[in-house]
Structure 1
Amino acid sequence: MTDDEWRVEVELDEEEHGNALGERMRTTDLDEEARARLGRHAIVTRDGPRLFVYADRETRAREAERLIRELVAADGVDARVALTRWHPIEEAWKDASLPLPVDADERDAERARRDAAESAEAEREGEFDWHVRLELPGRGEAVELEHRLEAEGVPVSRRWRYLLAGALTEERAEALAQRLRADAPAGTEVSVEVNPSDLPSPLFVFLGARG
């Protein structure tokens, strides 16, 4: 068993080409060598004009890439074909020519890229997986702390004297909460909570609970 993950990505100009190519990948007669190299467990999925073939070994992924290029050429359609590899630390499909990280510095670099991508996505969508909730003694203190957190680059929302700061992970939320317990004005209540996607906005729940 291997944890290595490979994917052939195919982007066609028209959706019907994706239907036809996917069906041919599932039913085409392969020679014995191709069948052995591709394996019996390659998975083919389709999303409109995009086709994906998943494999657990590089040799099988490259065989799938070769087969797809042959089928595309035989059909005379335009397609962009790329071989990618899953990088588990960065949690991203990347070009197969890029090796997996092998030392601590490279692993840290992938974590940094993952965190930056997750942060950008969370800011675009306005949702974070974890939140630090703060109830301050008064509105003035809340406004001052809101401005300070914004200057630090912390995503924060304020309603009256209540603040909600977003965090990507529980560890980051706990670290932020610990710092704010020491730095926030006396009397500030600080707590950490998860933000399940199937629940209403935590800001709404937080303020609603206070009436």
Structure 2
Amino acid sequence: MPEDFRVEVELDDEAHGYSLRERMRALDLDDEARARLGQNVVVTRDGSRLFLYAVDEVQVREAEQLIRSLVDAEGLTADIRVTRWHPVEEDWKDLSVALPRTPDEEQAEYAAREAAEAREAEREGEYDWQVVLHLRGRSEAHDLAERLAADGLSVARRWRYVVVGAVTEEDAGELAGRLRAGLPGDTDVSVEANVSDVRVGTFQFIGF
């Protein structure tokens, strides 16, 4: 699978950053600059931060050299680092950190990703994934929600629906399989991305 690289630039002065952006745009019109950047380099901006995305290490190093020369020419100061996307951990890490090459290394990155997402879920009070169970009746949903909450899971009940928070899609799929095995065959069990802003905290009984 192709790798993804980027240069991350944190400008100390956002006002000067716009001047730098204009120079980057002007360079796009210059053949020499295009040759230095490469046609596949994409430049984006987020406030005082610039990101230059490249398809390989050669291109990203060229982009790094170019941005450093522009920063120096403008008399600016900036934090500049080159990173690579780690698909297992789903995070940008310093280029010096190699991609995992063995199953043990992949498992270590996956564990780091799960730990980071668990901390985020605990801090924000919501999960990126959820298992949704549609029970036969309200009482069955209530009993199941209480059992799952007693097991330490993050649970909410709405009428005949029980929603269980999960840190990752893999965790949600595994949890759905375990729950499905212990429920009546006609129970609807689905895994969904949590795209709402509704907080899913510890179980609370909601009467109707």
- Shared fold per TM-score greater than 0.5: yes
Secondary structure of the residue aligned to 2:147 is: helix
In the alignment, which residue of structure 2 is the partner of 1:195?
A: 192
Aligned partner of 2:86 in structure 1 is: 87
Cα distance in structure 2, aligned partners of 1:139 and 1:61: 53
Cα deviation, residue 102, structure 1: 0.8
Measured in 1, the distance between the counterparts of 2:169 and 2:79 equals: 39
- 1:15-64 CA-partner distances (Å, limit 9, x unpaired): 222222122223238795x7545322211111110001111111111111
Matches within 5 A, 1:72-83: 72-83=71-82
Cα distance in 2 between the residues matched to 1:57 and 1:198: 33
Q: 1:139 to 1:114 in 2, by over 3 A?
A: closer
Q: If each structure's helix is expressed as a fraction of its own residues, which one has the higher value?
A: 1
CA shift digits 1:150-175 (9 cap, x unpaired)? 2xxx2222468864211245553343
Q: Following the alignment from structure 1 to structure 2, what is the Cα–Cα distance between the partners of residues 54 and 194?
A: 33
Query: Amino acid of the residue matched to residue 151 of structure 2?
Result: L
Rounded to whole Å, the distance in 1 between the matches of 2:134 and 2:119 is 23
Question: Which residue of structure 1 lines up, in the alignment, with residue 117 of structure 2?
Answer: 118
Residue 12 of structure 2 aligns with which residue?
A: 13
CA shift for structure 1 position 195:
3.4
Unaligned runs of 5+ in 1: 204-210
Alignment of 1:120-159 (within 5 A): 120-123=119-122, 124=124, 126-133=126-133, 135=135, 137=139, 141-142=143-144, 144-150=146-152, 154-158=153-157
Tell me which residue corresponds to 1:40. Answer: 39
Q: Which runs of 5+ in 2 are unaligned?
A: 201-207
Instruction: Please give the alpha-carbon distance, in whole angstroms, between the structure 2 residues aligned to 1:11 and 1:192.
Output: 45
Cα RMSD (Å) of the superposition? 3.7
Deviation at 1:85, TM superposition (A): 0.6
Identical aligned residues as a percent: 47
Higher deviation after alignment, 61-70 or 161-170: 161-170
Q: Compared with structure 1, are the counterparts of its residues 126 and 24 closer, same or farther at alpha carbon in structure 2 (3 Å cutoff)? A: same
Deviation by residue 1:85-128 (Cα, 9 ceiling, x = unmatched): 11122111100110111111011111222223333344425243
